[in-house]
Copies of this chain bind each other. A is one copy, B any other.
């Protein structure tokens, strides 16, 4: 995440505006604080806390007590901080907002991943991410045990209904993209019917996204699609989407490779964490 410092600075400035009005009352003081979990969940975002506070106080000391992606219980200490009081106060909210949001995503992901345990299917995210936070939210999904789908419109091509209509069919759409894309770019086709799925494989798609198929349909369809792909000497990645959390397990045993879902990002509450200041040393 090469730009993370730039983001942290911008987020601090969002909260600080023209400067913390209470800073003059804290000048010259030093303090200690720690973070507590107030809920059970998966902790995520810990490695961002030190760089954030060091933008405010380059001498800030921080000890992480919980490794990234690990479960925490209510009351558990997560990290310890020591440095300028004005920096502790100025960074508190931004750092917590970030970690609570990411930990909420990791926690929700872990719950879904556990649901699929033993199925041999990988749970992956989508491009439904909060504007400005995609890389970090996708990182939180990995911390929760999930995998990532493409990171943006530029690192794999997904052809949807409208692309296909405009290009004049699946084969034409796949060919148009292959002609201009870098060779390592995968081409995925979104299919809503069996016919579309078969046409995608015939057109040489690297992946097929099977949208809103029922588990029963997939149980029948998946082996047929794999056989078709085999005939063409080219394996295909099969992905199911449009699935409610409670149906995950049913889909997990259909033989597909991936289940993609936006739920851990779009439907998860923040994990409740707080920062406690300690009696001055």
- Seen from chain A, the residues whose Cβ lies within 8 Å of a Cβ on chain B are 1-3, 7, 10-22, 24-26, 29, 31, 85, 88-90, 93-94, 96-98, 100-101, 104, 122, 124, 127-135, 138, 142, 147-159, 161-163, 165-167, 173, 176-177, 179-186, 188, 206-207, 230, 233-235, 237, 258, 266-267, 269-270, 277, 279-280
Q: How many copies does the complex hold?
A: 6
* Contact residues in B for A159 (Cβ distance below 8 Å): 22, 25
* Contact residues in B for A130 (Cβ distance below 8 Å): 97, 101, 130, 133
* Contact residues in B for A177 (Cβ distance below 8 Å): 21-22, 24-25
* Closest chain B CB from A150 CB (angstroms): 5
Cβ-defined partner of A29 (8 Å) among B124, B166, B186: B166
Cβ-defined partner of A132 (8 Å) among B132, B163, B186, B230: B132
Q: Is the interface of A mostly helix, strand, loop or mixed?
A: mixed
Q: Nearest CB to that of A98 among chain B residues?
A: B131
* Closest chain B CB from A106 CB (angstroms): 15
In the assembled complex, the Cα of A133 lies from the Cα of B16 at a distance in Å of 14
* Contact residues in B for A11 (Cβ distance below 8 Å): 131-132
A-B CB contact pairs (8 Å), 30 listed? A1-B19, A2-B19, A14-B131, A14-B134, A14-B152, A15-B127, A15-B152, A17-B152, A18-B155, A20-B153, A21-B156, A21-B185, A24-B180, A25-B159, A25-B163, A25-B176, A89-B162, A97-B127, A97-B129, A124-B182, A128-B270, A130-B130, A149-B183, A150-B184, A155-B185, A156-B182, A183-B237, A186-B186, A234-B235, A266-B269
